[in-house]
Amino acid sequence: MAFIFNILSGEKENFFLQIEIDSNKSFLELHNIIQSELNFDSSQMATIFLTNEHWEKEIEISQVDMGLEDDVYSEIILMEDTVIGEMLMQKKDKLIYVFDLFNDRALFVELFDINKKKIKKAKSLQSKGTIPEQVIFSEDILEENLNVDSFEDDFDDEFNDGMDFESLEGLDEYQ
C-alpha cells in the first residue's frame, strides 16, 4: 500500500509538502525523503514522534541509539528497524518530525491517504511555500532555550562557601 503524507510547518504557514511512500518502507526512508525534498543537511540529527490526535508526543522513533535510556525495560525504537505500516494504521494518524533537536523545531506530518498501489520509490507529490531553515543559530533562541540568568543563579554560591560563580577569588583556599 502507498501512504500519502501531508507535511506542514508551524513556523512557515505557507509551507506544504506531500510525500508518497510505500507502507512497507522504514521510517528512515521517510526521514531520508523529507531531508532530500527540503535540501536539509543529512548530517543533522532528527527524530520522529508518533502522536495522538491532539499532537501530543507518545512514542519516539530515533534516528540512532544514543544509549541514554535509564529504564532497562524501555525499548529504543529505531527508524531503520521500524516499518511505517506497522506503526500507522489509518488516515489522520499523526507524527511530529523534529528536524532541529537543539531548538525543538519540527514539522507536523499527517497520514492523508492510503491507497492500494505499490510504489518502489518514495516521491514528493506537491511542494510549495517557504521551507523552514534546518538549523537556526539565533541569540534570541539560544537565550530562550538556555535561560542564562537562571543557569548562573543555580551555580552562584550553591554551597554557601563564599565563592562566586563570576570570579575565581579564593580558589587557592580550596586546593
Q: In what order do the strands lie in the sheet with 105-115?
A: 57-62, 47-51, 94-100, 105-115, 2-9, 16-22, 123-128
**CATH number, domain containing residue 56:** 3.10.290.30
Instruction: Report which of 126, 104, 133 is spatially closest to residue 7, judged by C-alpha positions.
Output: 126
Domain shared by 149 and 107, yes or no: no
Domain shared by 101 and 155, yes or no: no
Q: Is residue 31 part of a domain?
A: yes
Domain shared by 70 and 113, yes or no: yes
d(CA 52, CA 110): 11
Q: Is residue 18 part of a domain?
A: yes
Domain shared by 67 and 8, yes or no: yes
Domain shared by 109 and 147, yes or no: no
Q: Is residue 43 part of a domain?
A: yes
pLDDT, tens only, 128-175: 998 988 877 655 555 555 554 544 555 455 555 555 555 556 656 555
Q: Is residue 133 part of a domain?
A: no
* pLDDT score recorded for residue 74: 60
The model's pTM: 0.73
Beta bridge partners of 115: 2
* pLDDT score recorded for residue 158: 54
d(CA 21, CA 6): 12
* pLDDT score recorded for residue 81: 95
The yes-or-no verdict on residue 23 having pLDDT over 90 is yes
Rounded mean pLDDT, 87-96: 96
Q: Is residue 80 part of a domain?
A: yes
pLDDT, tens only, 39-91: 998 888 999 999 999 999 999 999 887 665 555 546 789 999 999 999 999 99
The yes-or-no verdict on residue 26 having pLDDT over 60 is yes
Residue 8, domain extent: 2-128
Q: What single-letter amino acid sits at 17?
A: L
3-state secondary structure of 68: coil
The pairing of beta strand 16-22 with beta strand 2-9:
antiparallel
Task: Report in angstroms the alpha-carbon separations of 98 from 10, 38, 52, 101.
Answer: 12, 14, 16, 6
Domain shared by 99 and 120, yes or no: yes
* pLDDT score recorded for residue 174: 52
Q: Is residue 122 part of a domain?
A: yes
Domain shared by 38 and 116, yes or no: yes
Rounded mean pLDDT, 17-26: 97
* pLDDT score recorded for residue 73: 45
Domain shared by 104 and 163, yes or no: no
Domain shared by 29 and 58, yes or no: yes
* pLDDT score recorded for residue 64: 82
Domain shared by 164 and 113, yes or no: no
Domains: count for the chain: 2
Rounded mean pLDDT, 85-103: 93
